[in-house]
Structure 1
Amino acid sequence: MASIKVILNPVAGKGFAAKAEPDIIGYIKELELEFDLVRTKEVGHAIELAEQAVHDGFKTVVAVGGDGTNNEVVNGLMNAAAKGKEAVMGTMAAGSGSDFTHNVGVPKDLKEACARIKEGKTRKVDVGKFQVPGHPVRYFDNQFGIGFDGTVTMVAKRYKKLRGMALYLPVVFQTIFIDSKPTFVNIKTDNEEFNLSTLQISIANGNREGGGFYMAPEAKVDDGLFDICIVESLSKPGMIAIVPKFMSGAHVNHPKTRMLKTKKIRVTSEDNLIAHFDGELLHNIHDIDCEIIPRCLSVIY
């Protein structure tokens, strides 16, 4: 039996993953690795496939896609771990952002990523766990965003062809002028509680999202802490001015930005919040409870 299960999302990266599939198969065969490849068929399918792969005895489960695919595989592995069965995760960048792949140190080049699978060097990383009333417990590996970047994620899904920064930059500016609205929230962390009107709240395990926006530039995936970026409400000119700073991490010095670290955070609001976790959308929510699970996932890098 093969020891590696490869889970490929054919629609990831606006179809890039499907086009890359023959190359990936070729690279793995060149490395003389025994593997079984399966394609996802619908949203949520990779969760089921990853969990089943662990129960079937696969020692390594590789996600080929973007951050949504990585998220689903992480959720499947975490579900299996809760039942006493574990596997190592591999990841290949074939999505619109692929920020988790970048944050754990896997090269973007698919041939080199396959070589890393053969080398098998692993590291332990943290995973975020969240609960929203009316939804099952879920996990996120990179970032949970509330407000502005939740709306950016929603708008980005309307674009069918672009990927990477070519996708996210025009979407960001459309969000500023058409779709973005401030929200009034209550925030509770390990040591603080406060109320304020916000543009954006990023609950970050990794430091990058959206293919190049460093919302939490000091975040580390293995330090047992969330890095929280809170940007208070801004005028449209103020939003236009701060967006380029997101790309360099310079926004952390902006007077309307607050950065902090915590193991747990709860965000509540009477407003309808739009959020995303690793690019997966949540609409019209009012209560979000997140906590970090330290160094619980083994990832090849």
Structure 2
Amino acid sequence: MYLFIINPRSGGGAGHRTWLSVEKLLKERKVSYESLFTHSADEAEQLVAERLSHQENWTAAVVIGGDGTIHSVLGALRHSRVPLAVIPAGSGNDTARGFGIPLTLEAALEVALSDCYLESDLLSGADGLTLTAVASGFDAQVSENVNTSWYKRLCNAIGAGQLAFIIGILHTLITFKPCRVSVACDGTEHVYETAWLVSICNLPNYGGGFLICPQAKADDGHLDVCVVHGCSRWQLLRLFPTVLKGRHVTLPFVSMLRGRSVAVTFAQARHAIGDGESLGTEPLAVRCESGALRVLSPQAVSSVLAAAGTAASCQASG
């Protein structure tokens, strides 16, 4: 039995439209399922937890929505051993990208109905759980600006979610000012006097496909950190095209760190986001919860074929 969790308002209504198409395919294939519609983060976690507790034979929990919808159900799925599947219907869809899940409906549904999963890590902090990345500073302010903007709705309507983030970058660049930050990885402190952003990543990308930490892997038990510091506004603007391919990691004003726990303290209040959702402006302290969530992903097939340990599993269907 599959549990489909639908946010009908995600992606400017794409969640509703996607579900109508998915439901038709499920009926054609005679797949057993239940559907659950959510409209807020608090409601989603509670409803999913209740539904999962009613029976034990769930094959997977399939989210139809964006990164925020996925974020809202992490607490309910954590350690449940019920795999998470994703049919992307948001504006950024970075979780799907990070796990190699296709962005097309039919192909994503095939992955959701498969049985190969990764034992993914989670980022755990005072504000809850995050799957993709916890970001603070400039890029978090970009997200705050985008989420409250008129242009996000317009970009979603025309199917150009990444364009909204590009506009948001230009919007934020005008007013944002860098400041001193302390970043402690596994207890070792690194101080940067003029820092623009600090990103703590479990997956390589966020912000609509930007490869902030291209080396990050969801199942390696570590967090990857990107710090951008000591550069001018013009240099920062020129950096973003290189982030699309992950080429920024060699620049002199970009520092890459790794660790199992990361604490970030800016000298001035800075916004932070997790999976694109606001985490407020308090200092950050997050740790890696290794293997806390099963995620159905095409990447699991490669992991199994490469015999790369026990981080992935494929179960025989039927």
Using the size of structure 1 for normalisation, the TM-score is 0.91
Q: Which residue of 1 aligns with 2:27?
A: 29
Q: Which residue of 1 aligns with 2:222?
A: 225
Q: Which residue of 1 aligns with 2:252?
A: 255
Distance 1:98 1:116 in 2: 15
Residue 241 (str. 1) matches residue 238 (str. 2)? yes
Structure 1 segments unaligned to the other structure (5+ residues): 132-136
Return the match for 2:84 from 85, 89, 92: 89
Indicate the SS of the match to 1:248.
coil
Indicate the SS of the match to 1:271.
coil
Say if 2:213 and 2:226, in contact at 8 Å, map to a contact too: yes
Residue 181 (str. 1) matches residue 177 (str. 2)? yes
Indicate the SS of the match to 1:169.
helix
Say if 1:165 and 1:210, in contact at 8 Å, map to a contact too: yes
Task: Tell me whether 197-206 or 103-112 shows the greater mean CA deviation.
Answer: 103-112
Say if 1:145 and 1:277, in contact at 8 Å, map to a contact too: yes
Aligned length: 287
Q: Which residue of 2 aligns with 1:206?
A: 203
Q: Which residue of 1 aligns with 2:14?
A: 16
Give the Å deviation of 1:294.
Answer: 1.1
Say if 1:9 and 1:18, in contact at 8 Å, map to a contact too: yes
Q: Which residue of 1 aligns with 2:300?
A: none
Say if 2:141 and 2:271, in contact at 8 Å, map to a contact too: yes
Q: Which residue of 1 aligns with 2:112?
A: 117
Distance 2:51 2:117 in 1: 19
Say if 2:185 and 2:257, in contact at 8 Å, map to a contact too: no
Indicate the SS of the match to 1:46.
helix
Task: Tell me whether 256-265 or 35-44 shows the greater mean CA deviation.
Answer: 35-44
Say if 2:81 and 2:294, in contact at 8 Å, map to a contact too: no
Distance 2:236 2:114 in 1: 44
Return the match for 2:94 from 72, 93, 99: 99
Using the size of structure 2 for normalisation, the TM-score is 0.86
Distance 2:121 2:218 in 1: 6
Structure 2 segments unaligned to the other structure (5+ residues): 298-318
Residue 67 (str. 1) matches residue 64 (str. 2)? no
Distance 1:47 1:181 in 2: 36
Give the Å deviation of 1:191.
Answer: 5.4
Give the Å deviation of 1:226.
Answer: 0.6
Give the Å deviation of 1:129.
Answer: 0.5
The one-character-per-residue Cα deviations of 1:148-193 (angstroms, maximum 9, x if unpaired) are: 1101110111232313212111111111123x22132221111521
Return the match for 2:133 from 127, 136, 143: 143
CA distance 1:194–1:121, change in 2 (3 Å): closer
Indicate the SS of the match to 2:234.
helix
Say if 1:272 and 1:283, in contact at 8 Å, map to a contact too: no
Q: Which residue of 2 aligns with 1:160?
A: 153
Distance 1:183 1:28 in 2: 52
Task: Tell me whether 217-226 or 10-19 shows the greater mean CA deviation.
Answer: 10-19
Indicate the SS of the match to 1:100.
helix
Residue 190 (str. 1) matches residue 153 (str. 2)? no
Task: Tell me whether 42-51 or 258-267 shows the greater mean CA deviation.
Answer: 42-51
Give the Å deviation of 1:265.
Answer: 0.6
Indicate the SS of the match to 2:181.
strand
Say if 1:93 and 1:101, in contact at 8 Å, map to a contact too: yes
- Give, as a single letter, the amino acid of the residue that structure 2 aligns with 1:10: P
The one-character-per-residue Cα deviations of 1:114-147 (angstroms, maximum 9, x if unpaired) are: 122222222211111012xxxxx40101010000
Q: Which residue of 1 aligns with 2:76?
A: 76
Distance 2:153 2:104 in 1: 23
Q: Which residue of 2 aligns with 1:42?
A: 40
Indicate the SS of the match to 2:155.
coil
Distance 1:257 1:270 in 2: 19
Residue 127 (str. 1) matches residue 117 (str. 2)? no
Distance 1:40 1:233 in 2: 43
- Give, as a single letter, the amino acid of the residue that structure 2 aligns with 1:235: S
The one-character-per-residue Cα deviations of 1:246-280 (angstroms, maximum 9, x if unpaired) are: 11111111111000111001112341110100000
Give the Å deviation of 1:86.
Answer: 3.5
Say if 1:31 and 1:115, in contact at 8 Å, map to a contact too: no
